[in-house]
Chains A and B, each alone.
Chain A
């Protein structure tokens, strides 16, 4: 975790500096009586860079002081844990995220009902590894509920699919 924090804090410093630079350059700071569009973002960028630096220093400081006892046992468990984590990321996390992105892409093209149904099917099969029967039931029910709620009850405009019109 410490390494992740160290990297992130450096990224934050860089980000903060970028924001400050962009604000000053393109958005103008303006005069005191009328601060420009870049005024507040500029100071936010500076603040982020400073805070990122403090964060970085904090991660360095907390390294010292972790007990030496039990570190061996911790190391063995850590390796196994890492493997399990990687497994979960590949089998559940990534597919889940990709499915949502796919959903966003399909939404206007295939219409919201088809996209919803396909999303559900994808989720049940890939993330949850359910059987086909249960998947189908869940998907149809879900799409049906969405239709009832959004189109029938609320009459919200939702796309019906450019592929089909």
Chain B
């Protein structure tokens, strides 16, 4: 079946009333959980599994799960922009400039551009999937431990660019993030690290607790101590929609972000997070006004949002073409497919073309639905910021506290949340930018794990990282970026002293 006829049949399946309904349900639920702290798409799909088994047609089941998955990407950016609360690791980067835009009264523009960027990127991503899926699937397996290590290291370097002016402080954040990630049981040696006898620390810290604490609570505590705020946004909410100027500025950012996200998203493990990081760094690099980044540059929202949505589309490629799941949510979908008697893999497109094309067609439709769902809500969400701080702040605290608790069912997590909140407050006072720390925390296991795996593979030699082509290319990229970054910093230093 060639692509054209495949798509036609796919759309005929996707446009049936029941599949439309489930696509909508998935998108709705996905957006909702993206907004809520604590519950992620993987956990939601797991919760819904018993219901999913009962759905007759496998296509319908996948449509639902896929909807939840990429719907959560849309929802996650909403809280990132409005409340500085990243719903998912992939939304952390959006917080940086998105929240700053909100503080300047431009929440509407930020939300609008995020929705549009997500839609464009998602759609282009699906087109890419349609046309190139089997050919680029090879990329997914080509990334072994050394490549993953190099990629993660490049990602970490990109994270330093989030740190604003001071590279030293950015590196400190990076190091702390990696350290926090190492707390807990180390599977390779069996030793528990840095738990100091506290049982709850055996499984380490949770991303949600850390991110909500440092970003959300940190911001609230800081707000408590700073001058009187009656609202989160003190300036008028103003223009609710992105202006023409915004659109022009974001166009290229969206395209670049889509490209970045699409290719990096195929790589199993960390695809969406790293792609949002890379996109941000790229935008900052090519921008004519890089000093705006961190203060509310719209490209800093458009690029990463496009990247993480393109990545969520392309992360289906290894699943559908090779039978390899790239992240936790996709792994759930993988398991559900197997239970329904469908083996994802190279034979999927041959044995069950209706499933393959039906899902792809539904993803197009889902993206449109999400745009339709989210755009009108932009105005509504922006109004949320006019709720007095005195009510918003405690409500946010409650939300994040209950969300944190619900992950492992232990009060310790609420204490950690407060602890991280105080830490986040401290970081703000000392002019640190917490983004790099949170992202290093997410990438930490990938960095350490792949490093150890690579060293086992090479027999202890670090040369493995430079003898393999992809890894060499990435390390080379890392070196080029690091050197050029230091050159820029040194030049600035010299200029101020003369």
- Residues of chain A touching chain B, judged by Cβ–Cβ distance below 8 Å, are 4-5, 8, 12, 19, 22, 27-28, 30-38, 40-41, 44-45, 47-48, 51-52, 54-55, 58, 84-85, 88-89, 92-93, 96-97, 100-101, 103-105, 107-108, 112, 116, 119-120, 123-124, 127-128, 130, 138, 142, 146, 150, 154, 156-158
One of B171, B194, B402, B411 near A108 (C-beta < 8 A):
B411
Q: Does B386 contact A (CB under 8 A)?
A: no
One of B227, B393, B405 near A107 (C-beta < 8 A):
B405
Q: Does B340 contact A (CB under 8 A)?
A: no
Q: Does B476 contact A (CB under 8 A)?
A: no
One of A27, A130, A138, A154 near B191 (C-beta < 8 A):
A27
Please report the C-alpha to C-alpha distance between residue A12 and residue B171 in the assembled complex, in whole angstroms.
13
In the complex, which residues 317-332 of chain B have their Cβ closer than 8 Å to any Cβ of chain A? none
Please report the C-alpha to C-alpha distance between residue A40 and residue B174 in the assembled complex, in whole angstroms.
13
Please report the C-alpha to C-alpha distance between residue A55 and residue B271 in the assembled complex, in whole angstroms.
33
The CB with the most chain B CB atoms within 10 A, among A12, A35, A48, A120, is that of A35
Nearest to A88 among chain B residues (CB) is B225
Please report the C-alpha to C-alpha distance between residue A157 and residue B47 in the assembled complex, in whole angstroms.
12
Q: Decide if A31 touches B179 in the complex (CB within 8 Å).
A: no
Query: Contacting chain A: which of B234-242, B297-305, B448-456?
Result: B448-456
Query: Contacting chain A: which of B99-107, B345-353, B413-421?
Result: B413-421
Please report the C-alpha to C-alpha distance between residue A146 and residue B448 in the assembled complex, in whole angstroms.
39
CB distance from A97 to the nearest CB of B (A): 7
Q: Decide if B414 touches A104 in the complex (CB within 8 Å).
A: yes
Given the interface pairs A37-B191, A127-B224, A158-B402, the reply to whether A142 lies near B390 with Cβ below 8 Å is no
Given the interface pairs A40-B182, A52-B172, A93-B224, the reply to whether A128 lies near B411 with Cβ below 8 Å is no
CB distance from A14 to the nearest CB of B (A): 14
One of B168, B178, B227, B430 near A4 (C-beta < 8 A):
B430
In the complex, which residues 157-180 of chain B have their Cβ closer than 8 Å to any Cβ of chain A? 168-169, 171-172, 175-176, 178-179
Please report the C-alpha to C-alpha distance between residue A31 and residue B221 in the assembled complex, in whole angstroms.
45
10 tightest A-B CB contacts, nearest first: A33-B460, A32-B460, A104-B414, A128-B390, A37-B189, A123-B394, A93-B225, A92-B224, A37-B191, A37-B186
Q: Is the interface of B mostly helix, strand, loop or mixed?
A: helix
9 residue pairs bridging A and B, Cβ less than 8 Å apart: A12-B172, A33-B456, A37-B188, A47-B171, A48-B172, A97-B421, A100-B217, A100-B397, A142-B398
Chain B: residues with Cβ within 8 Å of the partner, total of: 53
Q: Decide if B418 touches A97 in the complex (CB within 8 Å).
A: yes
Q: Does B226 contact A (CB under 8 A)?
A: yes
Given the interface pairs A37-B186, A55-B168, A124-B390, the reply to whether A100 lies near B405 with Cβ below 8 Å is no
Q: Decide if A41 touches B168 in the complex (CB within 8 Å).
A: no
Q: Does B406 contact A (CB under 8 A)?
A: yes
CB distance from A102 to the nearest CB of B (A): 10
Q: Does B336 contact A (CB under 8 A)?
A: no
Complex contacts, B455 vs chain A, CB 8 Å: 32-35
Please report the C-alpha to C-alpha distance between residue A154 and residue B37 in the assembled complex, in whole angstroms.
13
Q: Decide if B226 touches A5 in the complex (CB within 8 Å).
A: no
Nearest to B187 among chain A residues (CB) is A37
Q: Does B395 contact A (CB under 8 A)?
A: yes
One of B224, B391, B411 near A104 (C-beta < 8 A):
B411
Q: Does B110 contact A (CB under 8 A)?
A: no
Complex contacts, A33 vs chain B, CB 8 Å: 455-456, 459-460
Q: Decide if B172 touches A51 in the complex (CB within 8 Å).
A: yes
Q: Does B429 contact A (CB under 8 A)?
A: yes
Please report the C-alpha to C-alpha distance between residue A150 and residue B399 in the assembled complex, in whole angstroms.
10
Complex contacts, A85 vs chain B, CB 8 Å: 225
One of B217, B405, B429 near A158 (C-beta < 8 A):
B405
The CB with the most chain B CB atoms within 10 A, among A8, A97, A101, is that of A97
Complex contacts, B448 vs chain A, CB 8 Å: 40
Complex contacts, A27 vs chain B, CB 8 Å: 189, 191, 193
In the complex, which residues 192-239 of chain B have their Cβ closer than 8 Å to any Cβ of chain A? 193-194, 217, 220-221, 224-227
Given the interface pairs A32-B460, A96-B221, the reply to whether A55 lies near B188 with Cβ below 8 Å is no
CB distance from A37 to the nearest CB of B (A): 4
Complex contacts, B225 vs chain A, CB 8 Å: 85, 88-89, 92-93
Please report the C-alpha to C-alpha distance between residue A12 and residue B176 in the assembled complex, in whole angstroms.
10
Q: Does B422 contact A (CB under 8 A)?
A: yes
Please report the C-alpha to C-alpha distance between residue A157 and residue B221 in the assembled complex, in whole angstroms.
28
Complex contacts, A55 vs chain B, CB 8 Å: 168-169, 172
Q: Decide if A41 touches B398 in the complex (CB within 8 Å).
A: no
Nearest to A52 among chain B residues (CB) is B172
Q: Decide if A40 touches B178 in the complex (CB within 8 Å).
A: yes
Q: Decide if B406 touches A157 in the complex (CB within 8 Å).
A: yes
Nearest to A5 among chain B residues (CB) is B430
Please report the C-alpha to C-alpha distance between residue A128 and residue B228 in the assembled complex, in whole angstroms.
11
**Scoring B residues 398 to 438 as 1 if CB is less than 8 Å from chain A, else 0, what string do you get?**
10011001100101001101100110000001100000000
Please report the C-alpha to C-alpha distance between residue A93 and residue B224 in the assembled complex, in whole angstroms.
5
Q: Decide if A35 touches B452 in the complex (CB within 8 Å).
A: yes
Q: Does B39 contact A (CB under 8 A)?
A: yes
Q: Decide if B194 touches A100 in the complex (CB within 8 Å).
A: no
Q: Decide if B409 touches A157 in the complex (CB within 8 Å).
A: yes
Complex contacts, A146 vs chain B, CB 8 Å: 398, 402
Q: Decide if A41 touches B179 in the complex (CB within 8 Å).
A: yes
